[in-house]
Amino acid sequence: LVRDFGFVKVYNVLELFYVDCVVEKSEQIGNGVCDIYEPYYTEECGYDGGDCGFPVLVEGYDNCMVAEPAFIGNGFCYVDGVLPFSSEKCGFDGGDCPIPSPVEGYPNCLVSFPERIADGTCLDSLPYNSYECGFDGGDCLPPEFAQTFTL
């Protein structure tokens, strides 16, 4: 809120729109359900359009900030090893996720579950849905681009 002129409120345009937020399913931003994985859970996307709380520092992990610290090291690799949970700074989900490994055909793609790349289902989260991973091996590309995309 920039100014309050009685019944008329003036907002900064960046408070209303997430111009730097790039996601496959924009309707999930601000829909009332917290998506606590990247790219939805980022500052650029307003922490899922305000659906999620601000990140909290996880005890025992310098620089590991997530919406739900209890998910780190709980014995379960959260959502197939997505960021920020399955990152080096979060100890690869507190040791719950395999250390990311390279994916054949995508030399700069490192994920915890390489078999999830190009498995026919779009895993719309980082690092899977990224340029380096071929947008989940093409699973997250619109059909009109899927046949023409190359790294």
- Any idea what DSSP says for residue 118? T
Phi and psi torsions of 48, nearest 5°: 60, 45
pLDDT digits (tens, 9 = 90+) for 96-120: 999 999 999 999 999 999 999 999 9
Evaluate if residue 4 carries a pLDDT over 70: no
Phi and psi torsions of 111, nearest 5°: -135, 160
Evaluate if residue 147 carries a pLDDT over 60: no
- Model's pTM, two decimal places? 0.68
pLDDT digits (tens, 9 = 90+) for 7-63: 655 555 555 678 888 888 888 999 999 988 888 888 999 999 999 989 999 999 999
How many Å apart are CA 16 and CA 87, to the nearest integer?
A: 30
- Any idea what DSSP says for residue 104? T
Taking the CA atoms of 108, 110, 113 and 116 in sequence, report the sign of the dihedral they define.
negative
pLDDT digits (tens, 9 = 90+) for 56-83: 999 999 999 988 899 999 999 976 667 7
Question: Could you tell me the maximum CA-CA distance found in the chain, to the nearest angstrom?
Answer: 60
Give the model's pLDDT for residue 64: 93
